Homo-oligomer: A and B are copies of this chain.
Amino acid sequence: MTGAPHRHFHDELSQLKDRLLHMSGEVEAAVDRAVRALLEHDADAAEQIIAHDSAIDELEIEIENGVTNLLALQQPMARDLRLLLAALKISNDLERMGDHAVNIAQSAKRLRDAPPITPAPELSDMARSVKAMLSGVLSAFVKGDSAAARAICRQDDHVDALHRSMFRILLTHMAEVPSTITAAMELLLVSRNLERVADLATNIGEDVVFMVEGTTIKHHAETGGVAGGR
């Protein structure tokens, strides 16, 4: 390969990374806003999140097309190939996270007229942790930092613990006050959606490790996810 097309290829790769960063920024904002809309009973904000999801879907298609073209035209080897395959999976995972944000926004709409959300601190804590995992793992991807990616996979346990704690609190609450059952069921689903976003961030972390080191850790890290994945 001569110098020129090689440089061109690396320009394309860095553009691809920028797009993924942009997409993950959008997803982070969507998750954050959805939880806020829920806590603040803001149905308009929830509606906006739902409407904006198509922009996230478009980004995924754009990234997929970019990767497919690069694979076809540049026929990259080894580490560059792994980077392109990781980009494909990451965009797929980000799009699914966007869908979870939409699910949370839909719960927010249904809970618009519900009493104040309990337990708010646990929910806010989950949202904060999930956001930190997502931004951390994308930064690990861009830097090719597998140690950082592994550290983020381990944070998934904290989110799983928060989800189990939400489950117990909601269960107790609905058993004591049956009139809260509908709202509690909805909040259980919100918690489950946040827990799934953390799982997807963990998937991305595993892809980064594979990309950098060429070794698969995924099914070790996932054991906790399944156990916590009620």
Contact = CB atoms under 8 A, between A and B. Distances in A.
Interface of A: 53-54, 57-58, 61, 64, 68, 71-72, 75, 77-78, 81-82, 85, 88-89, 92, 99, 102-103, 106-107, 167, 171, 174-175, 178, 181-182, 185-186, 188-189, 192, 216, 218-219, 222, 225-227, 229-230
Contacts of A58: 219
Given A171-B185, A230-B189, A85 B68 contact: yes
Given A106-B230, A171-B181, A85 B82 contact: no
B106 A81 contact: no
Contacts of A82: 68
Contacts of A218: 57, 61
Query: Can you tell how many copies of this chain the complex includes?
Result: 2
Contacts of A222: 57, 99
A185 B182 contact: no
A146 to B, nearest CB: 17
B81 A226 contact: no
Nearest to A186: B230
A186 B106 CA distance: 22
Contact of A75 (B75, B175, B182, B229): B75
B175 A181 contact: yes
A76 to B, nearest CB: 9
A209 B225 CA distance: 31
